[in-house]
Amino acid sequence: MPPKPTALITGSASGIGYEMARILAGQGYDLYLVDIQEEALLQASKELSHLFKISVTVCAIDLSLPDAAEMIYKDCCDRKLDVDVLISNAGFFFFSEVAQSDPEIAARMIRLHVHTPSMLAIYFAREMKQKQRGYILMTSSVSAYKTFPGIGFYAASKAYLKSFCESMRHELRYHGVYVTTLCPGATATNLYDPGIINVKTAKRWGIMMDPHKVAAAGIKGMFNQKAMVMPGLMTKVLTILSVLTPGAVIYWARVRWKRLF
């Protein structure tokens, strides 16, 4: 009997990634869950395997390690898993101007947002191309469309993912492999420091989206073979407004902020 199709999801111990895992488990997919949060990952595995009667494999690894993608791919090969869905969702956020940034934190973000998703794509897209089927979903951000002072590393790395996915989509569609970019706005997850941003209040006022809604939109768009998914009307409106904001206005706001604080 051939192996059952498996969905590989990074950053799946909480937030959008966990909700994606839950949705795909409900659709009958076996899961390969990857996250640095080992305890939360094991809890998610126990819960989802019990609820949906599926097989769940966990891999607790720091995805910012240079060889993380290779280790994951080799583990999937050793287990003879048929990865039919690849979701690169892991990420983190920090706010700092470039000149004041911690070099190690910046390097970790680049490895996590750029290097590891790219390497995972190489390994698994190659197999999907040979099988003539598969889905790849990468979580970018609305910040890929317009960056602002203080989020240079985050926005640039997310813009890379958006561009990378667009290129892969053109390369792989002919071979029955579909690539989708998920570009959410602010989402109520632990991505943000609760000491700075009150996530619950932001969610209640509609400033931040519910992670399940974002995940559901991403999964639906992926299986509908969409190139890009941007969940939420407010997110679309704010993204258009930010793109239309002149650079001179952004500079003025930065100077005024510096003077006030």
Tens of pLDDT, residues 187-209: 766 665 555 554 554 555 556 68
Is residue 87 classed as helix, strand or coil in its secondary structure?
strand
- The CA-to-CA distance between both ends of the chain, in Å, stands at 65
Q: What is the pTM of this model?
A: 0.88
Contact 16, 184 (CB under 8 A): yes
pLDDT confidence of residue 146: 77
Report the amino acid identity of residue 149.
Answer: P
CA distance 125 to 51: 30
Task: State the DSSP H helix or E strand holding residue 201, giving kind and residue range, or none if neither.
Answer: helix 199-204
Nearest Cα neighbor of 160 from 194, 109, 214 is 109
pLDDT at residue 260, as a whole number:
45
User: What does the buried/exposed string (b/e) look like for 190-217 if buried means 16 or more CB atoms within 10 Å of the residue's CB?
Assistant: ebbeeeebebeebbeeebbbbbbbbbbb
Structural domains of the chain ordered from first start: 5-260 (3.40.50.720)
The reported pLDDT for the residue numbered 218 is: 97
Kindly give the parts of the chain with pLDDT less than 70. Answer: 1-3, 188-208, 239, 242-261
Sorted by sequence, the CB contacts under 8 Å of residue 174 that are 6+ apart come out as none
CB 99 within 8 A of CB 151: no
